[in-house]
Amino acid sequence: MLASPAPLSAEQVLGRTPALKEPQLLDGVLHWLEQRPQERGRTTLMARGPGAEPVELTPGPWNLRCRVHEYGGGACAIGRGPDGAPLAVFVHDGDRCLWRLDLDRPGAEPQRLTPCPTGGRFSGALGGGLIDPHRGRWIGVLEAGGHDTLVAVSLTGGDPEPLHGPEDFCGYPALSPDGSRLAWVEWQQPHMPWERSQLWLAGVDGQGQLQGPRPVAGSGSQAADTPADCSVFQPLWAGDDLVVSNDRSGFWNLECWPGAAGAHGEGPPAWRPLLPMAAEFAMPQWVFGMATSAWDGERLLAMACRNGRWQLGQVALPSALGGPWQPIEQPFCDLAGLTAEAGRIACVASNPEQPSGLLELELASGAWGHSPAAPCPLPADTISKPQELWFAGHGGQPTQGWYYPPSGGGRPEAALLVKGHSGPTGMARTGLSLGIQYWTSRGWGVVDVNYGGSTGFGRAYRERLNGQWGVVDVADCAAAAAALVERGLASAERIAIEGGSAGGFTALAALCFTNQFRAGASRYGVADLSALAVDTHRFEARYLDGLVGPWPAAAATYAARSPLQHADRIRCPVIFFQGLEDVVVPPEQTDRMAEALERNGVAVEVHRFANEGHGFRNGATQVQVLEATEAFFRRHFRL
């Protein structure tokens, strides 16, 4: 049984701990992005050499943020200029322009590369790029006028030069070491990149122009045995070999095209599976800058997810000796952002007892160090650790979640909080979440549900949600709660559900269409599927075609699933949180849902936040949301 901790305060949980993102190694120096909630979500570039203290390279007011496809990512590229000197190229959110920072000149000021009107902003969104040292330029994605374009920007400054115009979306450019080949990912509406996408490859001529671009893997490519629907993730050059994750086997497994850098002509690519495993070597591509594999100059390193737990290992290329998968011993099971250089690995890592931080590991010795973003405020013996929960979900299918017992242990009278992750193609992870510990320290059990549609369990598990959003996820969350009640670990009269974005939709739909829950909380959750289909931004404009049905042909299904159309079925208290700058789920949806419940006499609270969009970045906002949610549930459950 857990020792009983003092209840965590919201300030201990949120508002202080920065989010660490996109580590990159260069010349033994580790660089990373640090998003600081105490500075209203400002993101800055950090660096640390071996044995040195971290140094902030872009102090305020610099804010490194990409807005391509609204969700962004990939705001900073680290590399070398034509003279071999290290530099960073980043997007500053203040003007949306590209800026250059010379890393070999301590204290140097960034220099703007892309022009914009005086006092204005660059027209378009830039990001997800790399540095081409052979030609002294940045290569990345420009989203403007409803189109993506692969562009190049000179490291001495100038307008973006178009390189390639995809049919729809593109991202994840990867340049071969000799600069002769460029690979990237494309996808087209109505598909999302994790549903159906292609890996493209082109030659790069002496003037830096792309020659003979063609799809070489994924849907619509010339690769043998490729099904109509498959997706690719993160092209990577391992010397002259091209590596990518491809889910044509049913799992995102690594494949290699030996000698792709020297391949010419239009012949079919010679892909070879590296690790046929029931494991995922990729994540859904919501943002740029994600990395689950890395090349250190001699070895291919990768992260693999099996049933919701991540593992780090070394992968043998077809020409290499040794076994196909060599696990690397280290104590972390929640990993992201892999980078490697000369026998050294770094990534963002956590486990059920240690918070997220930078993991650095030397391959030769196996020695590792972990630098948490903030110290853990809990003694180890008071931390509620995730217990794997398998239960019969929608249609009786085996479904997984992580159950966190309350302080004092699960018991029939304990309150239970059911969490539905966002995405909905996301996953419930196992790293230490102080947000979950906030609840368990107050006597709540928590179940974080990997409902059908979640990543980490293969393509078939993800595709359970095809055409069934608002049905499978709702049934799985209700079934998880029922399983815990049946096992005597929670009270059927004290079950709440909460979620943000897609998880907010699941929460609201669960309140409408099941009788399992007694209260709910929605953070910028979808209330009206029809409005989302019509009003949302370009990246997700056709997402619901796969999750619900083609719009407007399936309008009746949209109405049948939308909580707003069935608000009269909700009879329990609901609290809402909404950013007024949200372009993914406009504030009007939350307002209309809350008004409908109020007309029906349901207890409702609505908290609106200026200067917040889809996903709250300000630490003060995050604290207020957590405190208000707990107070609302406690009041209505009379705890």
Q: What is the pLDDT of residues 576-605, one digit of tens each?
A: 999 999 988 889 999 999 999 999 999 999
Task: Tell me what pLDDT residue 119 has.
Answer: 67
Q: Bigger pLDDT: 475 or 307?
A: 475
Q: What is the pLDDT of residues 446-461, one digit of tens each?
A: 999 999 999 999 999 9
Q: Which residues have C-beta within 8 Å of that of residue 574, sequence separation ≥ 6?
A: 508, 511, 519, 520, 521, 522, 594, 597, 602, 603, 604, 605
Q: Which residues have C-beta within 8 Å of that of residue 24, sequence separation ≥ 6?
A: 30, 31, 32, 76, 78, 339
pLDDT at residue 6 is higher than 90? no
Q: What is the pLDDT of residues 73-126, one digit of tens each?
A: 999 999 999 999 999 999 999 999 999 999 999 889 999 999 987 667 898 999
Q: What is the pLDDT of residues 196-254, one digit of tens each?
A: 999 999 999 999 999 999 999 999 765 556 678 999 999 999 999 999 999 999 999 99
Q: Bigger pLDDT: 141 or 219?
A: 141
Least confident span in 53-67, 310-324, 481-495, 604-618: 310-324
- pLDDT confidence bin for 508, thresholds 50/70/90: very high
Rounded distance between C-alpha atoms, residue 221 and residue 230, angstroms: 10
Other CB atoms within 10 A of residue 613 CB? 18
Q: What is the pLDDT of residues 310-363, one digit of tens each?
A: 999 999 888 665 567 899 999 999 999 999 999 999 999 999 999 999 999 999
Over pLDDT 90: what percentage of the chain? 85
Residue range 356-378: mean pLDDT, rounded: 95
Task: Tell me what pLDDT residue 142 has.
Answer: 98
Contact 437, 448 (CB under 8 A): no
Task: Tell me what pLDDT residue 310 has.
Answer: 97
Task: Tell me what pLDDT residue 566 has.
Answer: 96
Q: What is the pLDDT of residues 250-297, one digit of tens each?
A: 999 999 999 999 987 667 899 999 989 999 999 999 999 999 999 999
Rounded to 5°, the CA angle 394-551-479 comes to: 15
Q: What is the pLDDT of residues 558-573, one digit of tens each?
A: 999 999 999 999 999 9
Mean pLDDT of the chain: 94
Q: Which residue has the tokens 């990997």?
A: 450
Contact 302, 316 (CB under 8 A): no
- Computed from CA positions of residues 366, 367, 371, 376, in that sequence, does the dihedral angle turn out positive or negative? positive
Q: Tell me the C-alpha to C-alpha distance, in Å, between residue 600 and each of 489, 495, 507, 567, 569.
A: 33, 22, 19, 8, 9
Of 240, 233, 234, 183, whose CA–CA distance to 210 is shortest? 183
pLDDT at residue 52 is higher than 60? yes
Task: Tell me what pLDDT residue 223 has.
Answer: 55
- pLDDT confidence bin for 13, thresholds 50/70/90: confident
Residue range 186-200: mean pLDDT, rounded: 96
Q: Tell me the C-alpha to C-alpha distance, in Å, between residue 283 and each of 248, 304, 454.
A: 15, 10, 10
Of 91, 31, 36, whose CA–CA distance to 55 is shortest? 31
Domains of the chain: 380-637 (3.40.50.1820)
Over pLDDT 70: what percentage of the chain? 97
Q: What pTM was computed for the model?
A: 0.93
Residue 611, Ramachandran bin (φ over 0: left; ψ between -120 and 50: alpha; else beta): left
Task: Tell me what pLDDT residue 504 has.
Answer: 96
Of 109, 98, 116, whose CA–CA distance to 155 is shortest? 98
